[in-house]
Structure formats: structure tokens, C-alpha cells
Structure 1
Amino acid sequence: MEKRVITDSKRRKGLMAASALLGGVLVLSACSGGDDSSPSAGTSQKSQAQVDKAAAQDVSEAQISIEPKTGSTNASINNAAKVTVVKGTLTTVAMRTAAGDTVEGTIAADGKSWKPDAQLERSTTYKINATAKDSDGREAHENGSFTTVSPDNSFIGNFTPEDGSTVGVGMPVSINFNKAITDKAAVQAGITVTSSSGQEVVGHWFNSQRLDLRPEDYWTGGSTVTLKLALDGVEGADGVYGVQQKTVTFKVGRNQVSTVDAKAHTMTVTQDGKTIKTIPISSGSPDNPTYNGQMVISEKYKETRMNGATVGFTDDDGKGEYDIKDVPHAMRLSNSGTFVHGNYWGDPSIFGSANTSHGCVGLQDVKGAGDADQPAAWFYNHSLIGDVVIVKNSPDKTISPDNGLNGWNMSWAEWTADSAA
């Protein structure tokens, strides 16, 4: 009996030890299961949420926008570059070329926008870095890069008269484009010419690269004319865009019109309808007569060289070669070489009695004499670019309207018929 009791006691102790060991295994199994409700897992998730919340609080509400969009090409050199912000104000904007050259710009007084101070260059890549702050002082940053339109993909118009000049009443606005224009209506819509006199101004296309604009009658003396070019971004031909955006003004002087009577060998000068001088002249010879028609002085030279070979006058063709290096008081009337100019080499008796030139209108001009004593000098000093010179009674034809600034030789109906407006 005693031996059995001892045996049972030991058995119970062994079972208790096994039970304890099994319980330990079970507890160990429970700990290794990764229950999401465990205290350690809950503490980890709470920390991440706090991190996310803190990060969200650090994000600025300011939203920066840069134009043109990054990667843009053929961007305008005038109005494309711009930085704006909402829910904040701009603090710094830096613009540089790809080569590192700084482009100056200005942030608006309200801090909501920025733009360059001057026109950009064509065919150039620019980079913009902008920083803004929201109402809590948190910063936002934005970067952009774009390339402006290239010369190959853009056109410009060379115009006359110049800004701020004073011209005669016959001076049209003449624009010569450096590329052929196929969408004339779009380009003409971007060009406006107005006069303080209220005269209607209409454009006329002589070809795909030349547009002249004028009123039906000569400009009103004393008026101011304004030319506005709003061609920036206008597609003048397939893939070819305008880049000009500017305003030009010029003044119209007194109304001076001079009439050359080739048959009578005289030039009568009128201002505001009153004759102020009659000058004896010598116009084109019977073999080389002067054009008839209304012509506009387009250039003035105190002295210039005239070489007949440049306009087809050579001994080979029997027209008579000439090369005079110091022609005085010369004023151009046509692209083909018609001038009003001084003549010091001719016999003084020809003026007022004979036509001997190669097509120009010659006025007596004695070398070394004072200007006041010379008809050519007087006329030069009293003339403006844009003054009208009318030639009549010459055996030649009327000058072509596109030979110089001479569109006045077209009727108003002919002129307006070739407007793309």
C-alpha cells in the first residue's frame, strides 16, 4: 500500500508538470500569433496615424501654376511666361535660360502673379523655379521648363513709318513680312490702324508678303495715326506664328502735294491747298520718260550715289550708262529708281525747257551755292517722307501701285477688293 501511494503521488506530480508544460506551450503559441488586438500592435498603428496627421499639417495650401506647361515648344516670346498662385502668395520666382542667364521679372503687388520684365528671345529654353507661402507660412514649390518659338516657325513684319515720326499725307502703313502669309485674314485681323481724324483705314495685300493700309483719301493734315500689331501667336501659315505685339504712333504733317507737269517742265508745290512755289524741272527724256501718277516720297538722302547699271542703264543696251557718286538732295519715288533730286552736271538752260533725264525729276543744284539759292535744296528742306509728288503729261504709263508706296494709283474699289478683312 505504501508503495502504491508513493507511486500515485509521483504520477500526480508528473501530470501536473506536464500540464504546466502544455500550458506554457499554449501561452507561447498565443503570443506568437500576432493578434491585431494585442497591446503592442495597437501602439504601433497609433504612432503611424500621428505621423500621417503631422505630415498633412505640414503641407502648404498654396497652389502654384506655371505657364507654358513644362515641355511646351513654340511658346510665345511676349505673353506665354507667367506664374500664378491661389491660396497663397509668391515669395520668389527665378527664371533662367538653359545657359544660366537670369531673366528679370516682377511679382505683382498682391503677390498672386509674376511675369518677365521684357520680351523673351526666340528659340530659347527657359526654366522657372517658384516658391509660395500659404496663410500659415507653409511653403510650396513648383518648377517648369519650356522653349520659345524658333525663327523657322515664326514671322515678323517690317513696317513703315517709324514710331514717333512725322510724315506727309500720302504715307501708307506698309508691312513687309519675312515669310509668305497663307492665312491673310488671321494676320490682318491682328493689325489695326486708326486715325484721330476718324478716317476709315483698309488694308490691301499686294502679294503674300506685303500688306499696305491707308484711307480712301490722303491722311488729314495734323492727325495722329496709330498702328497696333497684335500678331503674337497668330498662325500666319501652317506652323508659322507671329511674335510681334506693339503699338506705333506717327504724326501727319501739313498737307503738301507737288505736281510735276512733264510737258510744261514745272513742279508746282502746294501746302494745304495753296501754291507756295513753282520750280523749273527737267524730267525723263523721250527715250526714258518719267512715270505718270501719284508717287510718295519714301526715302530722303542729302547725298547719294546713282549707278545706272543697278536699274538696267548700260552702254550695252544703248540706254546710256551713268555712275554719279554725289547726287544731291535725292528723294526716292519708286523702288525701280525714280527720284526727285538735284542736278549740278546738266546745262542750267534745261531746267524749265527740256526733259533730259533717265526718268528722274531733276532740279537745278549748283555745287557750292547756298541752299537758299538752289531749287533742289529748297524742295528737299521743305519735304517730308510721305509727301505726294504727282507726275502728269509724261508719255510713259502710270506707275504700278506696288512700285514704291504708290497705292494711291488704285481706285478705292480696287484697293478694298484685295483686303482680307
Structure 2
Amino acid sequence: MRTGAARLAAGLLVVPLFLTACSSGGDSKSDGKPSGGVSEGPAGGGGKNKPPAAPAALTITPADGAKSVETDGVFTVNATSGKVSSVVVTDADGKAVEGAASADGATWTPKAPLANGTKYTVVAKAANADGAEVTANSSFTTVSAAKTFDYAYKPDDQDGGTLGVGGVISIKFDKPVKDKAAIERNLSVVSEPATEGSWSWLTDHDGNDRVDYRPKEYWKPGTKVTWAANLAGAKSGDGTYGTKNRGGTFTVRDSIVATADLATKHLTIARNGQVVNTLPISAGGPSYPTWTGVMVVMDKVDGIDMDSETVGLGDAYNMKNVRYAVHLSASGTYSHAAPWNAGKFGKVHDSHGCIGLSTADAKILFDTVNSGDVVEVINGTEKQLAPGNGFGDWNVDWETWVKNSALAGAAQ
């Protein structure tokens, strides 16, 4: 049963069903036993007739005819002295609302928030222990939304239905989220095989509220992941409601982990734990050291203009059509071809924070990695990449990650 929104206190609709039962009578016995109420069992056994089950009753909240009902956490169907057997909820266009009964059959709740400013009609049934049903009908109208929020999300269709072992599910909001628990309760992730994971709230590189999901450890290759954000009608606080439901399914590819060792000035590429390439690099120099820690491939493009002014470095550089660029951070970290640094790869770090390679080696890395694959930068002098800077989520220890869930310690 959902919580978090104020429930309407008045006007509950209760419909009881009264049952009667008959017992067969019998002739008076010469031994003086009263007739009726006792039947003789076979072979001398006997037992009392089973008493009728208590009548079932239904309560629909909110009350019939209610107006301005909150979209999330209010609407329920409850049965007493029986179990909910069916609930049909439709809007004015006849579109049905999905929902499910609790394990004990006592309560039915919708799967997702209801739409704003919508009239709903409810037909519910419950049955008692004898199978006798009672029906209840009701209708109500949800509150209109004066303010709405939207959100961007990853992975999206551009990822082609697959993701690397370091891939995260990320939802970035265009407005501040005050009631983070109400939002998080309407997010779901199901993985096959089952994998321990958690949502966690953070601040994006551009200052927006964001909630990401990752497993405790890198995904196991072959895992199938289905996620959903049922946020149409979800209330983020201050009277602001979502308008869109989104979600998707992806399959985790083979493990690709590239390790850039800034001490040795070489990058190794491992596929499923086996090193397949070792490439010399030239990373950030003393004035512009490369972030350390775990980075996750955001996207890649063969041919990009790089202007230092767009990442807050003044007029340090302005390069056109940089080849084999793999995007690693929102602040502008890439691995890419850097032919202007020929002679420095494997010897000297001399970039403005990116991981530079020869054109041929940059193509090898570019052709190997895709969204969600991992680049670990070790033995550097710079601090670790922040979790909101691209997908630096893996640089947060698991205990802290879970604590930053709005539902930490609650059933999710």
C-alpha cells in the first residue's frame, strides 16, 4: 500500500454482503436428541454443519464523487472478511489502470500514479471464504497539475539495446525534486539473473537533481535489465507533477575494462578479464592532470571539434575534427587521437586532461568500447571523477551509495 500523500478521510464506501444458510432437518429420534443441526456421518462418524462465512465488504478510497484527489498514494480498494477478486478502473476514454492485489488479497493498489485532472470509474469485487461475491462502484476526479517537471534519461535508444558492465540507469530532472522518496517509489529495476543494486541521488555536473541506479559490482555479462520510471502523475513536491512514463530493456555485453595507468603511461584493454591490447598514452600534464577513478563511456564520435573555452580553460586550444573521440566525462574528458603529440606517447604526459593516443591506437580503443564500458584511471595525482560528472557513480563506495537513496532502510 502506497504512503506519502495525504489520504482523504471522509466518505468511505462500504458494501456488505449478508448470507444465509440452511441446514436439513430430520425426524425426532426416540432417544430424545433434538432434530436438525446434527447430521450423522458414515460408519457412525458425525460432525456439525459448517457455519456460514462472514459477509465480505469493500471499501473504496477516495469516496464516491471525490474531487481533486492526489494522484499518488491515495486510491486503494480494501476488502474485509474476504479478498479482492477483481478491480476494473478506467478513465473517460476507457483506458484501463493497471494494478495488483496484496499477497493476502486484502488491498488493491494501482501500479503507477494516476493521471492529473482525470475522472476515473471503479468497479470492484470481493469474495468471502464461501466464494460469495460483493460488488462496489465508485468514481472520482484527480487533482489538476499547475506545474510539471520533465527529465532526461540514459540509457536511451541510441545504445541499441545493449550496455557495458559499468552502465548505469540515470534520470536527470529539469526542476528541483523536493519529495525524492515519492519519485523513487515509482522507479523500478528488474534484472535476470537477480543482481543487488540501488538508486542513489546526486547532483549532476550542470547542477540539476539526478537519480542513478547501479549494481553493487559491475554487471555480469549477459544480464537482462528492465527498468521503468512511472512518473506521469508522480508528485515531486511543491505541487509539481510528472507527465511522462519512460523505461526500457537492455542486455549487458561482454566485459570491456580499459585501464589507463598514468605511472606507466600505458593503457590496457581487457575483454572478460583477458588483456587484449596494451597502448602507449599521453594524458594530462602537470597543469591539467587527468581525473582518476572509474569512468564510464558516455558516447563516442569519430570527428569532433574541441574548444577549451567550452570547458572553462580559456583559449588553451581549439582543434577541429579530432578523430576517434570517446566521451568519458561531462567536464570534457575524452580519449582521442592526438597526432600532434607524436613522440610523447608512453613517455610524457602533455595534454589538457584528455587521454591522447596515436591515431592508429585511438582507433583500436574507439572500435573496442561502447556505451557503458569502463575506463579506470589509476596512479594519477588528480582526485577521482565526481559521481555527477558523467557517470562517475562507481567512485562512491557501496555503503554511501545506498545511504543516498531516498528509500534507504525502507522496502523498495
Q: Same fold (TM over 0.5)?
A: yes
Query: How far did 1:203 drift?
Result: 0.8
Following the alignment from structure 2 to structure 1, what is the Cα–Cα distance between the partners of residues 222 and 405?
A: 27
CA contact (8 A) 2:294 2:394 kept: yes
Following the alignment from structure 1 to structure 2, what is the Cα–Cα distance between the partners of residues 274 and 392?
A: 18
Matches within 5 A, 1:192-341: 192-207=188-203, 209-314=209-314, 321-341=316-336
**Given the alignment of the two structures, is residue 358 of structure 1 paired with residue 367 of structure 2, yes or no?**
no
CA contact (8 A) 2:283 2:356 kept: yes
Unpaired segments ≥5 residues, structure 1 = 1-67, 84-94, 96-104, 108-121, 128-143, 316-320, 366-373
Following the alignment from structure 1 to structure 2, what is the Cα–Cα distance between the partners of residues 383 and 353?
A: 24
Following the alignment from structure 1 to structure 2, what is the Cα–Cα distance between the partners of residues 359 and 185?
A: 37
Following the alignment from structure 2 to structure 1, what is the Cα–Cα distance between the partners of residues 373 and 362?
A: 15
**Given the alignment of the two structures, is residue 179 of structure 1 paired with residue 179 of structure 2, yes or no?**
no
Query: How far did 1:165 drift?
Result: 2.3
Higher helix residue share: 1
Taking structure 2 as the reference length, the TM-score comes to: 0.63
Secondary structure at 2:233 match in 1 = coil
Identify if the C-alpha distance between structure 1 residues 276 and 240 changes in structure 2 by more than 3 Å, giving closer, same or farther: same
Taking structure 1 as the reference length, the TM-score comes to: 0.62
CA contact (8 A) 1:292 1:399 kept: yes
CA contact (8 A) 1:364 1:375 kept: yes
**Residue identity (%):** 35
- The correspondence for 2:378, drawn from 389, 392, 397, is 392
| 1:82 corresponding residue in structure 2 | 91
Q: How many residues align?
A: 287
Structure 1 segments (4+ residues) deviating >3 Å: 68-76, 146-150
Larger CA Rg, structure 1 vs 2 = 1
| 1:418 corresponding residue in structure 2 | 404
Secondary structure at 2:382 match in 1 = coil
Secondary structure at 2:320 match in 1 = strand
| 2:108 corresponding residue in structure 1 | none
| 1:156 corresponding residue in structure 2 | 150
Secondary structure at 1:349 match in 2 = coil
Secondary structure at 1:213 match in 2 = strand
Q: Which amino acid aligns with 1:389?
A: V
Query: How far did 1:69 drift?
Result: 7.7
Query: How far did 1:265 drift?
Result: 1.0
Secondary structure at 1:171 match in 2 = coil
| 1:165 corresponding residue in structure 2 | 161
Following the alignment from structure 1 to structure 2, what is the Cα–Cα distance between the partners of residues 398 and 246?
A: 31
Following the alignment from structure 1 to structure 2, what is the Cα–Cα distance between the partners of residues 70 and 417?
A: 38
CA contact (8 A) 1:197 1:223 kept: yes
Query: How far did 1:334 drift?
Result: 1.0
| 2:369 corresponding residue in structure 1 | 383
Cα offsets for 1:179-225 (capped at 9, x unmatched): 21111111101001121121122011014720011111011111111
Cα offsets for 1:244-270 (capped at 9, x unmatched): 334411121110101001121100000
CA contact (8 A) 1:296 1:386 kept: yes
CA contact (8 A) 1:181 1:209 kept: yes
Query: How far did 1:80 drift?
Result: 9.2
Matches within 5 A, 1:106-125: none
Secondary structure at 1:176 match in 2 = strand
Cα offsets for 1:382-406 (capped at 9, x unmatched): 1111111011111212222221101
**Given the alignment of the two structures, is residue 408 of structure 1 paired with residue 394 of structure 2, yes or no?**
yes
Query: How far did 1:311 drift?
Result: 1.5
Following the alignment from structure 1 to structure 2, what is the Cα–Cα distance between the partners of residues 308 and 69?
A: 61
